[in-house]
């Protein structure tokens, strides 16, 4: 395979990853890491470095559009970023001390748990519950656009959501992903945000989380420009397309895509982690 062919294939794969990442809030990294390691045979550490750069591009490509359209909850995102950034730095420092096979297995298990939680039906939107006092104090309650006009929602479970975000950041630094799966689930299941608000706020957050750990991988020489550039450009294009498609997407189908994608990737990563054929 020539360098040009490889670059083109990386670019096309990254477009798909960016599109799915923007639609589901996963950030693209959860798709790119298995793609680079399992399909292209890239060393895990270099794959993580390239994935972190692409996650930053995904956030840049879709977050601005989502904020402008009124989907993302900026106050929630900025508050939770404190936890994810701290966790990302801790995870990046652990990266050199955890075996590659263990990272792959942890990655797969996290994805399976995320898929299970996402597939569970909600017990209700609890529209008549009392809002979280902390969320009210921080003015997190907001609205989001629907075909019938703006719809109000309350934010709940702020302390527990903050704790889960630290774990999401830890996994981001360790695995080279934006941890969008955990972020979406924390906001959707714990904090009770509407699913589209959860995915778009996740996209808003993942760039900062990834940047916190990308600097550490850069200092260790794990970010290769020749690998990162086509991946970043592809993800950026895919994320921009995803931001436009989201306006017309059905929430039910988004959940199905979210679940199917991460289950398929989880099985692959766990298998290869157990077999030990990752570099």
pLDDT digits (tens, 9 = 90+) for 213-245: 788 788 888 889 889 899 888 888 887 787 778
Q: What share of the chain is helix, strand, coil (3-state, %, to 5)?
A: 75, 5, 20
pLDDT at 67 over 70: yes
Give the β-pairing of 142-146 and 149-153: antiparallel
The Cα 74–Cα 46 span in angstroms is 32
Q: How far apart are CA 55 and CA 51, in angstroms?
A: 6
Give the Cβ contact number of residue 17 at 10 Å.
30
Residue of higher predicted confidence among 198 and 18: 198
Q: Specify the pLDDT at position 80.
A: 92
Q: Look-up: residue for tokens 């900026």?
A: 74
Name the more confident of 69 and 120. 69
* pLDDT of res. 126: 46
Mean pLDDT for 180-195 is: 82
Mean pLDDT, all residues of the chain:
80
What is the pLDDT, as a whole number, of residue 172?
72
Is the pLDDT assigned to residue 70 strictly greater than 50?
Answer: yes
């Amino acid at each position: 395979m020539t360098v040009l062919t490889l670059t083109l294939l990386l670019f096309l794969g990254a477009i798909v990853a960016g599109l799915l990442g923007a639609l589901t809030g996963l950030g693209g990294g959860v798709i790119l890491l298995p793609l680079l390691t399992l399909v292209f045979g890239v060393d895990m550490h270099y794959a993580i470095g390239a994935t972190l750069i692409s996650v930053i591009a995904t956030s840049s490509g879709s977050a601005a559009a989502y904020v402008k359209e009124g989907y993302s909850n900026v106050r929630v995102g900025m508050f939770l970023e404190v936890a994810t950034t701290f966790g990302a730095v801790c995870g990046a420092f652990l990266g050199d001390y955890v075996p590659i096979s263990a990272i792959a297995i942890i990655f797969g298990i996290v994805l399976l748990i995320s898929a299970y939680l996402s597939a569970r039906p909600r017990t209700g939107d609890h529209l008549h519950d009392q809002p979280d006092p902390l969320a009210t104090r921080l003015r997190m309650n907001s609205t989001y656009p629907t075909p019938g006009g703006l719809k109000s929602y309350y934010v709940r479970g702020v302390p527990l959501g903050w704790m889960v975000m630290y774990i999401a950041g830890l996994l981001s630094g360790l695995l080279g992903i934006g941890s969008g799966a955990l972020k979406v689930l924390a906001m959707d299941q714990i904090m009770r945000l509407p699913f589209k608000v959860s995915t778009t706020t996740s996209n808003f957050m993942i760039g900062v989380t990834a940047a916190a750990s990308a600097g550490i991988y850069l200092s260790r020489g794990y970010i290769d420009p020749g690998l990162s550039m086509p991946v970043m450009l592809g993800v950026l294009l895919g994320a921009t397309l995803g931001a436009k498609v989201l306006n017309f997407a059905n929430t039910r189908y988004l959940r199905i895509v979210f679940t199917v994608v991460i289950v398929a990737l989880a099985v692959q990563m766990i298998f290869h982690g157990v077999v030990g054929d990752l570099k």
